[in-house]
Amino acid sequence: MPKTIMTVDDSTSVRQMVGFTLKEAGYDVIEACDGKDALSKIDGANINMVVTDLNMPNMDGIELIRNLRSNPKLKFVPIIMLTTESQSEKKMEGKTAGATGWIVKPFKPEQLISVVKKVIG
């Protein structure tokens, strides 16, 4: 059974790109446009991994990570955050909140896949 990855980003084009890349690589993808959306969609779904942007309206990435980590079902799910190099503090904040790793934007599809393989095999 293919693994399911949730991508959370307020930018449609990034979401599309990430989603397409992951689907090409054989993963199932669930898309969400911000933290709130992600939480509502994650309920009941069997998620193997989350890729989230940090800067989003409604609920940002950091808060989403905290929320996910407090859910017993998702306690150990790998979470990758999308950051830009100007956000090193954010990156630390994300790590503390429980993120598994990060990808620096902009990234190429193959970089994304290599990170995904790194955390969920």
Partner 1 sequence: MIDAHRQAFIEEASELLAELETTLLELESVPDDQEIIAKVFRALHTIKGSSGMFGYDDITMFTHDIESVYDYIRQGKIKITKEIIDLTLAARDQISIMLLPQGAGEDVDIKMTSKIIESFRNISNKVNKDKDQTPKIEDKSAVEITSKENFSSKTYRIIFKPSRDIYASGTNPVLLLNELYGLGDSISISKCSDIPLLENINPEKCYLSWEILLKTTKGIDAIKDVFIFVEDECELKINEFDTDNKLSKEEDFEDFRKLVYDLADLKEPDLQNLILGFESSSQQNDLLHNNFESKKTKEIPQTHHEADTVSSIRVSADKLDELVNLVGELVTIQARLSQIALSNMDPSMISVSEEVERITWSLRDSALNIRMLPIGTTFSKFKRLVRDLTKELGKEVELTTEGAETELDKTVIEKLNDPLIHIIRNSIDHGIESPVEREANNKNRVGKIQLSASQSGGNVLIKITDDGKGINKDVIKDKAVKMGLTQENSDLSDSEIFSFIFAPGFSTAKKVTNVSGRGVGMDVVRRAIDSLRGTVEVSSKLGLGTTITLKLPLTLAIIDGLLVKIEDDNFVLPLSHIEECVELSKADIEKSHGRHIVNIRGEIVPYVNLRERFDINELRPEIEQVVIADIKGMRVGFVVDSVIGQHQTVLKTLGKAYKNVEGVSGATILGDGTVALILDIIKLAEKEEFEEKNK
Question: Which residues lie near partner 1 (CB under 8 A)?
Answer: 2, 10-14, 16-17, 19-20, 23-31, 53, 55-57, 69, 75-79, 82, 84-86, 88, 91, 95, 98-108, 110-111, 114-115, 117-121
Shortest reach from residue 114's CB to partner 1, in Å: 5
Our CB check for partner 1 shows the closer of 31 and 93 to be 31
Which secondary structure element, helix H or strand E, spans residue 91, and what is its range?
Answer: helix 88-97
Our CB check for partner 1 shows the closer of 11 and 36 to be 11
Question: Rounded distance, CA 15 to CA 31, Å?
Answer: 7
Shortest reach from residue 81's CB to partner 1, in Å: 11
CA distances from 121 to 78, 114, 116 (A): 11, 9, 7
Q: Got the DSSP string for 16-31?
A: HHHHHHHHHTT-EEEE
CB 7 within 8 A of CB 15: yes
Shortest reach from residue 12's CB to partner 1, in Å: 5
Shortest reach from residue 4's CB to partner 1, in Å: 10
Question: Rounded distance, CA 42 to CA 26, Å?
Answer: 20
Our CB check for partner 1 shows the closer of 8 and 91 to be 91
